[in-house]
Amino acid sequence: MWYPRGNSDVLAATLVALMIAAVGSGAAAQMHTLQSSASNSNESTQTKIARALSAAPPDVAKAATVAEMDGQGKMTVLRAGTNGFTCMPGDPTGVGQPAMCADEASMQWFRDFAERKPKPTNTIPGITYMLAGATQRSDSDPYDTSSKPIAIGPHWMIMWPFDAKTTGLPTTHKPTGAYIMWNGSPYAHVHIMGRP
């Protein structure tokens, strides 16, 4: 689900649809999703761009699109990109609202999750970077909105169905190594701690 490079209106419409779906699903507090940056409205554009790009490796960040959404659901492209990745500044004061950088397959995964589809429809694995760290609610329940927040260090993810039994990976996070988040659900995926 990606659109021609340089078409910021289509990109903005897609990201707005993702945000509306995420808020409507009730899952917004748990999932690493596209979130409003309304609490950061007084920040400079350069500060937001810098935070968004801090989520990605430098070789990805240099050509990524940077976009944010305000409290009214309006998407603004802060910087156009050319490599198919979209980085977002997130809201560092919110749970599950990290700065992140996602490729087109990951964007499809996030949209499917937000719409509560039975399973993701991306046909290739997606890559999502959260190298500035994140918070989440649960390693096991994708739709948990009430558990105490868990701080996660810098990591990146492979957005593709994985199973702990077949991979031999653990199902809870550790400071290093990899684990399966939301094991047993259609939205299970691999977290790899640290920087690629």
Q: Is residue 29 part of a domain?
A: yes
Q: Is residue 152 part of a domain?
A: yes
How far CA 25 is from CA of 18, 102, 107, 113, 180, in Å, comes to 11, 21, 16, 9, 23
Tell me the CB-side half-sphere exposure of residue 100, using CA atoms within 13 A: 23
Predicted pLDDT of residue 92: 84
Q: Is residue 50 part of a domain?
A: yes
How far CA 163 is from CA of 15, 127, 139, 140, in Å, comes to 29, 17, 13, 12
Domain span at residue 141 reads 8-193
Q: Is residue 2 part of a domain?
A: no
Q: pLDDT per residue over 139-195, tens digit each?
A: 888 888 899 998 999 999 999 999 899 999 999 888 899 999 999 999 999 999 999
Residue 174, both tokens:
């550790």
Q: Nearest-5° angle of CA 153, CA 157, CA 161?
A: 135
**What is the tally of structural domains in the chain?**
1
Q: Taking 80 as the threshold, does the pLDDT of residue 46 lie above it?
A: yes
Residue 109, both tokens:
């995964």
Predicted pLDDT of residue 40: 53
Cα–Cα distance for residue pair 184/137, rounded to 1 Å: 17
Residue 158, both tokens:
């492979």
- CA 136 and chain centroid, separation: 11
142 contact partners, CB below 8 Å, separation of at least 6: 27, 30, 31, 113, 182, 185, 187
Dihedral of alpha carbons 84, 87, 58, 195, sign:
negative
Predicted pLDDT of residue 25: 33
Contact present, 3 and 14 (Cβ < 8 Å): yes
Predicted pLDDT of residue 35: 47
Q: pLDDT per residue over 71-127, tens digit each?
A: 666 778 999 999 999 999 998 888 888 999 999 999 899 889 988 999 999 999 999
Predicted pLDDT of residue 114: 85
pTM metric for this prediction: 0.80
C-alpha dihedral, 121 to 124 to 126 to 127, nearest 10°: 170
Q: Taking 90 as the threshold, does the pLDDT of residue 49 lie above it?
A: yes
Q: Is residue 15 part of a domain?
A: yes
Q: Is residue 81 part of a domain?
A: yes
